[in-house]
Amino acid sequence: MSQDFADRIVAARAPRRETKSLIYQHALRLFAERGYARTSLRDIAEAVGLEVPSLYTHIASKQSLLFDLMEFGNSELLARLEAAVAAVPGDRPLDQLYVLVRENVISHCRHRDQTKVVFTEIRELADRQRPRILSLRRSIEDLFRDTIGRAVDAGSAREVDVTVTAFGVLAIGRGAATWYHDDGELTPEDIGDLYAEQVVRGILAPKLAAKWSRPQL
């Protein structure tokens, strides 16, 4: 066995974290651009600067790569949203909804690749992997449902269908990821404020319409 061969086998047994990170970065970008089914392991390997079999030092399969990206993407979004709600007192549900919608829009604009992959490629997961991702997604939906529900219960919002309203709000955020560009006139914060105000006014109790104004954050 030559020195060269030995070095390469050692490299395979002591995988570099940096390489793994590059694999995930390029996989996310390529999955978002072309879709999971149209991205081959050859594409990913080439982007990273490896041969295909070398990828298997770092990942278990193409599918596990997708699963990891989807789990991280959903978890990160959920954490951001929970932090946003927690920053506003619970007795002001309309303001909580405002920051929730705003943070959701901002996150989707800032992490467009994550959004595209997370919401387009669910059907590509194995049946065994899917429940975990759906569960995370449901937690996000529940956060919106709960906040809207408390605004209704407090009499600050009209008696809207909580689930349908929540789904509409979530769709607006995902939509932003499909058209937002960094070189546009509006920042993610601008867009977040714009949608948050429309959503709150859309369900606001009419008696509050004249005096409601955007929360000072």
Binding of DNA at residue 62 (CB under 7 A)? yes
| Long-range contacts from 53-62, C-beta under 8 angstroms, 24+ separation | 54/12, 55/23, 57/12, 57/15, 58/15, 58/19, 58/20, 58/23, 59/20, 59/23
Binding of DNA at residue 57 (CB under 7 A)? yes
At residue 81, the 3 state secondary structure works out as: helix
Helix (H) or strand (E) holding 185: none
Q: Which of 51, 142, 159, 189 binds DNA (CB under 7 A)?
A: 51
Binding of a copy of itself at residue 167 (CB under 8 A)? yes
The letter for the amino acid at 131 is P
Cβ closest to DNA, residue 50 vs residue 204: 50
- Residues 22-41 vs DNA: string with x where CB under 7 A? -----------------xxx
Cβ closest to a copy of itself, residue 31 vs residue 96: 31
Binding of a copy of itself at residue 41 (CB under 8 A)? no
Q: How far apart are CA 115 and CA 100, in angstroms?
A: 17
The letter for the amino acid at 119 is F
Q: How far apart are CA 122 and CA 166, in angstroms?
A: 20
Binders of a copy of itself among 174-213, rule CB under 8 A? 174-176, 179, 186, 191, 194-195, 197-199, 201-204, 206-207, 209-210
Taking CA atoms, 113 is separated from 21, 34, 145, 162, 175, in Å, by 16, 11, 25, 29, 12
Q: Which of 29, 35, 43, 204 binds DNA (CB under 7 A)?
A: 43
At residue 157, the 3 state secondary structure works out as: strand
Cβ closest to DNA, residue 61 vs residue 178: 61
Cβ closest to a copy of itself, residue 73 vs residue 192: 192
Quick one: DSSP state of residue 156? S
Binding of a copy of itself at residue 27 (CB under 8 A)? no
The residue ranges that bind a copy of itself (CB under 8 A) are 33-35, 37-38, 120, 123-124, 160-161, 164-165, 167-168, 170-172, 174-176, 179, 186, 191, 194-195, 197-199, 201-204, 206-207, 209-210
